[in-house]
Amino acid sequence: MRILFLGDIISKSGRMALAGGLGALKARLDVDLCIGNVENAAGIFGITQKVIDEIAACGVDVMTSGNHVWDKREGLALLDSRENLLRPANYPPGVPGRGFVVRETRGTPFAVINLQGRTFMTPIDCPFRCADAILEEIPQGVKIVLVDFHAEATSEKQALAGYLDGRVSAFVGTHTHVQTADERVLPGGTAFITDVGMVGPIDSVIGVRKEQVIERFMRALPVRFEVAEGAVCICGLLVDVDDATGRSREVVRVREEIEIHEEQ
Ligand SMILES: [Fe+2]
């Protein structure tokens, strides 16, 4: 199975890039399954039904998220109603939604697990132990298991990837929006990248207009953030997994620049 992971899809800019470029990219890379992180998809923070429908129509099959998925009230109901939409599994019991899903594509079963880090982030439940518990729950016959780890610290991402090496097919970091150049297949067969990057505007600070972020850093006053304009990059990771063993054979970092022509 050939799987394309997309980094955090940033607001309208990211959605327009998917509408303009994802179909051709998937065809060129011969993608069977596309996974994308949507926590920043609606107005930078959170999700709405319209936005989730739009991203699904662009060809994203399973959507993961992170700390910002709670930011729009409308999104909470979606987490309960949409089976292909995940929130991090290691939030405490009682929060809306689900943290992993088992589905199939072209007759091959696969699982997607969404986890979130605790270093420099809200100290939720342990992602290591949560991953162990979920892997116990996933049926033995499901060989292809994919993890989105939404975390700030590169060390925490690399540590959890090492902990899960050989037990999951691919482990992809999200949240920092800056693609790292360390993609590889770990010794146990797990495809890995510390951060897959974003689907968002290139001339920005992690998707936001530069001058607003500079103002925030220089004066430490609250600033309203808006998505930047201009050309967008679709950052992702292509993983080729052996269906029979669930081990990754190949990993390719993807970075595609898309011109946005429509008024934002
Ligand atoms: Fe995040």
- Asked if pLDDT for residue 190 goes beyond 80, the answer is yes
How far is the C-alpha of 99 from the C-alpha of 107, rounded, in Å?
Answer: 23
- Asked if pLDDT for residue 263 goes beyond 60, the answer is no
pLDDT value of residue 259: 86
Q: Which ranges of the chain would DSSP assign to H, the alpha helix?
A: 11-29, 49-57, 73-81, 127-137, 154-164, 210-219
pLDDT value of residue 264: 44
Distance of CA 19 to the CA centre of its chain: 17
β-sheet bridge partners, residue 107? none
Across all residues in the chain, what is the average pLDDT? Answer: 96
- Ligand 1: centre distance to CA 39 (Å): 7
Give the environment of ion ligand 1: residues with CB less than 5 A: 66-67, 175
- Ligand 1: centre distance to CA 17 (Å): 20
How far is the C-alpha of 86 from the C-alpha of 91, rounded, in Å?
Answer: 12
- Ligand 1: centre distance to CA 117 (Å): 10
Q: Which residues contact 118 (CB under 8 A, 6 or more apart)?
A: 124, 126, 127, 151, 156
pLDDT in tens, 139-175: 999 999 999 999 999 999 999 999 999 999 999 999 9
pTM over 0.85: yes
Q: Which residues contact 181 (CB under 8 A, 6 or more apart)?
A: 253
Give the C-alpha distances (Å, rounded to integers) separating 146 from 78, 141, 151, 246. Answer: 22, 15, 16, 10
pLDDT in tens, 38-89: 999 998 899 999 999 999 999 999 999 999 999 999 999 999 999 999 999 9
pLDDT-based confidence at residue 262 (cuts at 50, 70, 90): low
pLDDT value of residue 261: 72
Q: Tell me what percent of the residues of the chain surpass a pLDDT of 70.
A: 99
Choosing from 68, 150, 175, 177, which is the catalytic residue?
A: 68
- Ligand 1: centre distance to CA 221 (Å): 21
Reply yes or no on whether 175 is catalytic: no
Structure tokens at 79: 């987490």
**What's the chain's Rg over C-alpha atoms?**
17
Query: Residue 141 burial (CB < 10 Å; 0-12/13-18/19+)?
Result: exposed
